[in-house]
Amino acid sequence: MDRRTQVADNLAAVRARIARACEDAGRDPGEVTLVAVTKTFPASDVRLLAGLGVRDVGESRDQEASAKAEACADLDLTWHFVGQLQTNKARSVVRYASVVHSVDRPSLVTALSRAAAEVGQSVRCLVQVRLDERPGRGGADPMQVSELAASIAEAPGLALAGVMAVAPMGADPGPSFARLAGIAADLRAEHPEARWMSAGMSEDLEAAIEAGATHVRIGRRLLGARPRTG
């Protein structure tokens, strides 16, 4: 099977899962955006996905993402940065990404705001929330979300869009995503514009949609196994 057919089949299967999950949850599929996570895969795959109607692309490493975005500059795509982000990469990231899902500390808010002002772009930011006790994978403590969100909302060049999380490994994602939905609701009470909830990956998109996810981030089920996890 050629790559295009393979990716088209995978995409159809993922879209069907999203549609079914929305139906089960009594939600409109139009409320859920598929972000295709293309990390470790070549720009040619991004091009295939774009040809199949995908408009939102996610990446997690700046060096790889900036090269890919440049190779795909002729395509009408929205680039989402979903990985852990070092402050010294903020200037590079805002050149191609209009959404950053992984804002988890005040120093990153400052760096992104400065970078966004420099390039004259507005960057949508999601507060990444840590849902387990392991700080290694990034994310702000749930207790810090409100303060971090307020600083994003006030920062020039940044727009507060909502929250993001990765479910803890090896546990039922349902309770974690329900907890994230509660945090998202609290945030909306303070910032009505912050309506996005980025949650759900290849193996747990149904649980995320049931909890109210507006953006699911899907890699492997679209493009196949990655050589390394990241």
Ligand X SMILES: *Cc1c(COP(=O)(O)O)cnc(C)c1O
Q: Tokens 């795959």 map to which residue?
A: 45
Q: Nearest approach, Cβ of 186 to ligand X (angstroms)?
A: 22
215: contact with ligand X by CB under 6 A: no
Q: Closest CB to ligand X among 83 and 212?
A: 83
**For helices 43-51 and 62-71, what crossing angle results, to 10°?**
50
Site for ligand X in 27-46 (CB under 6 A): 37, 39
Q: Which is nearer to ligand X, 82 or 145 (CB)?
A: 82
Nearer to ligand X, 114 or 132 (CB): 132
Measured from each CB, the residue nearest to ligand X is: 219
Q: Check binding of 82 to ligand X (CB under 6 A).
A: yes
Phi, psi of 45 (to 5 degrees): -70, -35
Contact between 189 and 195 under an 8 Å Cβ cutoff? The reply is no
Among 100, 166, 187, 213, binds ligand X (CB under 6 A): 166
Nearer to ligand X among residue 169 and residue 189 (C-beta): 169
Please, which residue, 150 or 224, has the CB nearer to ligand X? 224
Query: What secondary structure does DSSP assign to 88-147, as a single string?
Result: GGHHHHHHHEEEEEEE-SHHHHHHHHHHHHHHT--EEEEEEB--SS-GGG--B-GGGHHH
Joined tokens for residue 150: 């307020």
- Who's near 27: CB < 8 A, 6+ residues apart? 209
The one among 83, 139, 157, 173 contacting ligand X by CB under 6 A: 83
Note the residues at the interface with ligand X (CB under 6 A).
Answer: 37, 39, 60, 82-83, 166, 201-202, 217-221
